[in-house]
Structure 1
Amino acid sequence: MYISNNSKYAGRYINYILAAIIAICLYSLPAFSQSTDLKPTMKGLVVDESNSPLANATVMVDGKNVSTTNAKGQFNISIPKNGTFSLRISSIGKKILTDKISSNEVAGGIRVFMLQEQINTLEAIEILGLSKVDEVNKQSFNVTALDATKLHNTSMDVGQLINRVSGVRVRESGGMGSQTAISLNGFTGNQVKLFLDGLPIDNYGSSFQINNIPINYINQIEVYKGVVPVWLGGDALGGAINLVKNTKAGNFLDASYSLGSFNTHRANVNLGYIAKNGFTVELNAYKNYSKNNYWVDINVVPDIETGVTVADRVRRFHDQYDNQMLGLNVGLSNKKWADQFLVGLQVGDNHADIQTGNRMDDVFGARFREGTIVLPSVYYKKDNFLIEGLDLSLRGSFNLGKEKNVDTVYRQFNWYGESIPKGRNSWDEGGEVSKELYTYKNNNSNAALNVKYAINPTNTLYLNNTFTSNNRKGENILQPDNDFYRQPKKLQKNITGLALGNADIKHMVNQIFVKYYAQHVHAYQVNNNLYSDYQDRQNMLGYGLASSYALDNNSQIKFSYEKTYRMPTVDELFGDVINLTANPQLKPESSHNFNLNINHTFLWNEKNALAVSVDGIYRQAKDFIRYVNSASNNNGNMTQMAQNQRDVNNLGGDLEIHYAYDQRFNISGSLTYQNLRNKTKYETSTTDVSIFYKDRLPNIPYLFGHGDISYEWRNVLLPNSSLKVGTYVYYVHDYFLRWPSAGTTSTKETIPEQLSYDASIVYSFARGKYNVGIDGRNLTDALLYDNYMLQKPSRNFSVKFRYTISK
């Protein structure tokens, strides 16, 4: 057990943090005592001119008591016991509503307030099209929010949208359904936590991953860089990404279908219904299929017997992917005891052929993996729970699904799809890599509690507790006597976070927080080919702060810091039974994360807006976990293992620019530089300086960027229609595949510079009810890579049809 990196300083850190919390609480006491007279409340509903509810509208009483409308446009705010009070309601893009109301006039029921459209001038965020996500972007955390609804008519998946955020790369090993890893300011894979509506999705399995989720499944993406807010929970080293599902207030239907190159098909349906009595139904379903038979340029072995290679361009021949998912939530909304109570069930499965290993020289023709998800869940949310100002939400889920890896064909393949029988060796007989028909369950459970208490209008207390548990159990029916499959593989994590936020309405937003991490691993260790029991418990304390200062309505400075920990995942500890081997002794990693952001929006001529954002980041990581390719095994195939790199630093930054004219013409671009360096001077058990000391970490891009430009014409051919054309460019500078200090200049392997272009055309009519989109990707048919020279899809096209309606 240990606390932080050095336990003798833990008590001092705790004292500093507690002192800061006490100081802020004492500072807030006068305002708190003044608010004790505001006992009566007024319930209200804020709508626009079409009677649609307005979420995130700001409601203020007498200039000091503040509330915000929820997703259904509702609010509940304290008012004076007697006399007349001033009411002010504001929302982005709407005229401010002010009124004088007598406390005696406020009785039971809900008062409705209608905000009119602001037609005199356009705010910068309106011109830029950011109104739906602006509240998220204005947090004190270094966060970027993307409005996914603007791309619902394209054939993109969620991963392709995330790729447009500065500092982020979604690294794929192939086409649809391939293994992915998110890189955020140099931290990669599981170091970046993924959430769905605020709940970690560690336990969703292979049937739900970032590059098979259709863009219509979500409404919004929130990317937190470096410092993760307490309310999200979970352990993350380099940041977090929160996906906000496609749900709306009221009743709606959103259905789409797309087809494209490589026999690729996507279908998606989102449906929501709320009856007058509060009965609620939410349905999300999607289907993905692709043969993934795209072209690759590779050294082929025409004669497997001789092993002589010839350069050729061939199609992938064993890479089919099939996946479906159905999510159903049923419950009640707008009740006295619950704003929302939902019981849900996610069911789905996937089949994925395995074409290659960790390098393209390892080609397979029969291996495949399968997975299922059966995930019951429960969700409860209540604002003003028991007392006014206390908001509570609770989520829980358990995955009953299974994963399976099948390797039973005892043949060797080449890139032409040809094969020969393999040699008769006892150690590998029965499969292309290993004799395996392995089925296992991770028995994942996940629970998260969030509590938010408004001490007074400017001070808020946050509490989160997130618990996850994994207990992998499985069997390989082809190797029933193999002791490896009977070893314990259990992992439990619990993260508790406490934060205190202080918000000056006009200028300052501050938050300080502490997080307590606990991990228990029950696994095995191997000595002289004998297994023995292994258990490890870790307890760690993290802490941090986030602060922002608004110079004016269009300028903001943000600073945040966190000492954070990330505990290994079940796959990193026990392997994924495909290409990643087990490392049960893997240690948690930690990092000091510093972030600085300066952003400003220029507005002129009421139609032009230019937004500029500059980020600076510094990371100082200990026991950094990275995936290392091991030497070829007896079968000639290369495997991977997660290993700790003791000391790693990263100094970098992002630049993002966005110009918009009249909500029609948009041009934007970003550039990211990240300099991850190995700071491990002495390797284990040696006094010699490591030859890799101060080397840049291999297989991680250090300079990349993107740009896009689009224009929208309105009322084309039909009234209430639009035609939007856009093009996108992605750039990645060349980088080393292995350590820069290893080998000579002529023998060093380099992943070459990459430049790719995409384009899209979208036509919508009947006010967006009917939509048709055409997408082209990798138009120049460039060679594109992310991981160890594994080639991504060649040039491809798709067309999408979408129908949507809401009431």
Structure 2
Amino acid sequence: MKNFLIFSLLVFAIHSTCAQHAMASISGRVVSEDGKVMADTYVYLENTSYYVETNEIGKYRLQVPVGNYTLISVSMGFVKETFAISLYENQEIIHDFVMVADKNMILDEVRLQGKSKIQKVRETAYNVVALDAKGHYNTTTDLSSLLEKASGVKVRSTGGVGSDASISLNGFTGKHVKVFIDGVPMSGLGSAFQINNIALNIADRIEVYKGVVPIELGSDALGGAINIITNQNSNTYLDASYSYGSFNTHKSNINLGYTAASGFTSRLNVFQNYSDNSYKVKTNLLDLETNSYSKEEHWFKRFHDRYRNETAIAKVGIVNKTWADKFLFGVTIGQENADIQNANLMKIVYGGKERESSSVIPSFEYNKANLFTQGLKLSIMANYSQVRNKNRDTLARQYNWLGDYRNKTSKGEGQYSLGKFENNNGTIISNLSYRINPKHHFALNNTFSAFERKSSDAVANSETSSEADNFKRANSKNVLGASYTVAPYRQWNTSLFGKYYSVNVTGPIDISNTTTPEYEEGSRSFNSSGYGLATSYLFRNELQLKVSFEKTYRLPTTNELFGDEVLETGDASLKAEHSQNINFNMSYNYSFNQNHSLYADVGFIYRNIQDYIRRQIEQRYGGAFYTNHGQVQNVGVDIETRYYYKDNFSAGANLTYQNIRNMERYSSTGQEVIYFKDRMPNVPYFFGNLDADYNIKKLWGEGNSLSIGYASQYIHEFFRQWESEGAANSKKIIPTQWSHDISLTYSIKNGTYNISLEAKNITNEMLFDNYSLQKPGRSFAVKLRYFINNNSNN
């Protein structure tokens, strides 16, 4: 209630101020001379602080005091357009701009759009990188593969299609890095809608925040954040694709939208994934008679790893009205079915264990710029997810990698399970911002989320549940943030911000002082605050320096608190992590001869974390659990460089080094540990990427093109466990990995028809991300895509 009053008072105060002036409005649309809509074009009144950017269909609207003005529209690569107007009280003027290409600045469309996005990123004080997804729509690249093109980012998966995936950003992995979709946390959306299975064509771009995260995301992230921006296109369009690949992998996607002149809009995105994941792995073989594992590793084909999921996302509503830029209701429906081939240790194999889930997620979105007065913007997003899970482990068998088994006296290959559980999660995100003029900007954000897990099948659960399993599991948290951004000069801007965290957790807590757990239901609350700043200075439009500092908290996630009911065990007594973070970034962007562009970026990071939440693997059964480790420190650097030649050729490379070490000298019993100042185990510390693309225009016809792509990834060897433990010849190491991918894409009629051929891991390297969990070897795929877009229906 207090947060709502703050928002209401601010809106009332601003509205009362603007009501004292006689106002008028100007609106219209900006298109190019060939009729294409022009988004992100600046429209402003000369010699005033009133300005706006056009939306995704080229529309703009300004509310200004009465008077005589010159209205101006500007966009990179086009001649500036002007229009003289006289405004009277309550008058509404409509004026459309037709932009003419600047003959002295000829750039093709793709390069022009890319440059504009890079420029917008550079002008922010936050260390953020924007990855354009549209250039990969014709390939079988998924969201996780695209993310790895950013320096400092490593996506760690546990296997093939549909396997669990976690993001490592600047040395912090898993739950330390928050993932959002259009500013909404993805943690409560269910396993059928995550980065490991979402179709890439749903995304317009991906924003990677390294370090400080803007308050608009309402985040308690520690190592950074990933924000997937979906296609906000309000045009009428159809995008359909299908791909087939190795291991009987099928992926399909249909993405369509319709917007009428009245402002009514509807969007539908349906995607599907299926794979047998029948690739070969190299691991130890269990002798079922002696119950011992072979010393040597052998090759085996995965025989119980089928995965499929289907998801549909529908939205309907109104856009581009005086009372709302966007007013949408939506629903996401998804289902998933997955065999579980192995535990968190590859040698422990299953033959009948599986999981399934279904999700229903209604949502609401409201957005209005220039609410009551110029510069005031309000956005509200809300969703409620109901995710039903069923985990089945009933066979009284023990399997080995040959598919043979022996009978057991007890049910369950791992832990006997037949129960059904329901995860309910609600989220409300409110953003209110006021740009007084181009130099001063205020913002408020409030993000509230609530989670509850409960049994949905008491009869089935009664067979396998303990008393602790019936305890309530609930978690609610609220993050309130405020920021002030000042830009005294075009080259310099600074953001100051503060956050207030509140959390309440109810769940089973182990009260035993022995190795035998004893649980009771308990509740606890946590409140704290954080703060920070981010500043940026641009030298001669080419060299930019960014510095940021933050004191922040990361609240435990629901999986860390309560587990996943499959292979992970939670701990409801986990403490929140807290950290002091410093980032320094230097970037250089230079174009010469109108044909060549060079971009380079160097970033330095420092993190000092207390109560670090560490994921560990239990060695006997291969389960995972979470603990508060203590103090962890990270000092790292990432480097990225990229070169462009017209729209014909591009090449880039990035390297990341991160020195994340244990700074906890003593154990919980007070004894000094031998791994003090060791690198944190099972975390890559030196890795990089290399990629290149060559485009041939007008091949076999006007509007046709051929693209040839190459990508490579390098990961240096790292320890699976503490490097100071064990004899030198017995230390477990994840070896150095270097993989190579190639692709070939042919587009016809300006991208209406497309076909792509791809080969991944062409040298068939053994690839690992987590412990001994091997990823697929060499694979091939073909993708067909059809795309039409009508951007002149409004």
Q: TM-score, normalised by structure 2?
A: 0.93
Residue of structure 2 equivalent to 1:322:
308
- The answer as to 2:265 corresponding to 1:280 is yes
Q: 1:304 to 1:36 in 2, by over 3 A?
A: farther
Residue of structure 2 equivalent to 1:673:
657
Equivalent in 369, 372, 384 of residue 386 of structure 1: 372
- The answer as to 2:425 corresponding to 1:444 is yes
Question: How does 1:523-538 map onto structure 2 within 5 Å?
Answer: 523-528=507-512, 530-538=518-526
2-structure distance, mates of 1:750, 1:480: 37
Q: 1:346 to 1:574 in 2, by over 3 A?
A: same
Residue of structure 1 equivalent to 2:7:
none
Any conservation in 2 of the 1:127–1:661 contact (CA below 8 Å)?
Answer: no
Q: How much does 1:385 deviate?
A: 2.1
1-structure distance, mates of 2:36, 2:480: 38
Q: TM-score, normalised by structure 1?
A: 0.92
- The answer as to 2:664 corresponding to 1:664 is no
Residue of structure 1 equivalent to 2:192:
207
Q: 1:722 to 1:492 in 2, by over 3 A?
A: same
Equivalent in 374, 383, 402 of residue 360 of structure 2: 374
Supply the AA of the counterpart residue of 1:294: Y
- The answer as to 2:582 corresponding to 1:601 is no
2-structure distance, mates of 1:717, 1:277: 41
Any conservation in 2 of the 1:127–1:607 contact (CA below 8 Å)?
Answer: no
Residue of structure 2 equivalent to 1:239:
224
Which deviates more from structure 2 when the two are superposed, residues 688-697 or residues 459-468? 688-697
Question: How does 1:534-573 map onto structure 2 within 5 Å?
Answer: 534-573=522-561
Question: How does 1:147-226 map onto structure 2 within 5 Å?
Answer: 147-226=132-211
- The answer as to 2:492 corresponding to 1:511 is no
Any conservation in 1 of the 2:580–2:607 contact (CA below 8 Å)?
Answer: yes
Equivalent in 781, 788, 793 of residue 764 of structure 2: 781
2-structure distance, mates of 1:41, 1:597: 41
2-structure distance, mates of 1:525, 1:401: 24
SS in 2 for 1:92: coil
CA RMSD in angstroms comes to 2.2
Q: How much does 1:100 deviate?
A: 4.0
Runs of 4+ in 1 over 6 A off after TM superposition: 32-38
Equivalent in 774, 787, 794 of residue 804 of structure 1: 787
Which deviates more from structure 2 when the two are superposed, residues 346-355 or residues 269-278? 269-278
Q: How much does 1:618 deviate?
A: 0.8
Q: 1:177 to 1:137 in 2, by over 3 A?
A: farther
- 1:256-275 superposed Cα distances (whole Å, 9 cap, x missing partner): 11010000000011111111
Segments of structure 1 that go 5 or more residues without pairing to the other structure are 1-24, 26-31
Segments of structure 2 that go 5 or more residues without pairing to the other structure are 1-9, 11-15
Question: How does 1:281-296 map onto structure 2 within 5 Å?
Answer: 281-296=266-281
SS in 1 for 2:179: strand
Q: How much does 1:130 deviate?
A: 4.0
Q: How much does 1:689 deviate?
A: 3.0
- 1:346-367 superposed Cα distances (whole Å, 9 cap, x missing partner): 0010011111111111111110
SS in 2 for 1:746: helix
SS in 2 for 1:166: coil
SS in 1 for 2:446: strand
Residue of structure 2 equivalent to 1:419:
405
Q: 1:129 to 1:481 in 2, by over 3 A?
A: closer
Question: How does 1:347-358 map onto structure 2 within 5 Å?
Answer: 347-358=333-344
1-structure distance, mates of 2:369, 2:453: 37
Which deviates more from structure 2 when the two are superposed, residues 505-514 or residues 256-265? 505-514
Supply the AA of the counterpart residue of 2:468: F
Q: How much does 1:550 deviate?
A: 1.2
Residue of structure 2 equivalent to 1:20:
none
Equivalent in 735, 746, 756 of residue 739 of structure 2: 756
Q: How much does 1:505 deviate?
A: 5.5
Q: 1:701 to 1:101 in 2, by over 3 A?
A: same
Overall identity of the aligned pairs, in %: 39
Supply the AA of the counterpart residue of 2:312: L
Q: How much does 1:523 deviate?
A: 1.1
Q: 1:598 to 1:96 in 2, by over 3 A?
A: farther
2-structure distance, mates of 1:337, 1:448: 20
SS in 1 for 2:292: coil
Supply the AA of the counterpart residue of 1:605: N
Any conservation in 2 of the 1:127–1:609 contact (CA below 8 Å)?
Answer: no
Q: How much does 1:744 deviate?
A: 1.9
Residue of structure 2 equivalent to 1:724:
707
Question: How does 1:549-698 map onto structure 2 within 5 Å?
Answer: 549-632=537-620, 637-686=621-670, 688-698=671-681
1-structure distance, mates of 2:511, 2:737: 45
- The answer as to 2:99 corresponding to 1:115 is yes
Q: How much does 1:747 deviate?
A: 1.3
- 1:610-649 superposed Cα distances (whole Å, 9 cap, x missing partner): 11111111111111111012242xxxx1221111121111
SS in 2 for 1:573: helix
Supply the AA of the counterpart residue of 1:433: G
Q: How much does 1:510 deviate?
A: 1.4
Residue of structure 2 equivalent to 1:403:
389
Which deviates more from structure 2 when the two are superposed, residues 257-266 or residues 640-649? 640-649
Supply the AA of the counterpart residue of 1:718: G
2-structure distance, mates of 1:130, 1:779: 33
Equivalent in 466, 472, 476 of residue 488 of structure 1: 472
Alignment length (residue pairs): 766
Which deviates more from structure 2 when the two are superposed, residues 376-385 or residues 314-323? 376-385
SS in 1 for 2:469: helix
Which deviates more from structure 2 when the two are superposed, residues 260-269 or residues 195-204? 195-204
2-structure distance, mates of 1:302, 1:678: 38
- 1:672-692 superposed Cα distances (whole Å, 9 cap, x missing partner): 011101111222241x43222
2-structure distance, mates of 1:135, 1:728: 27
Any conservation in 1 of the 2:738–2:765 contact (CA below 8 Å)?
Answer: yes
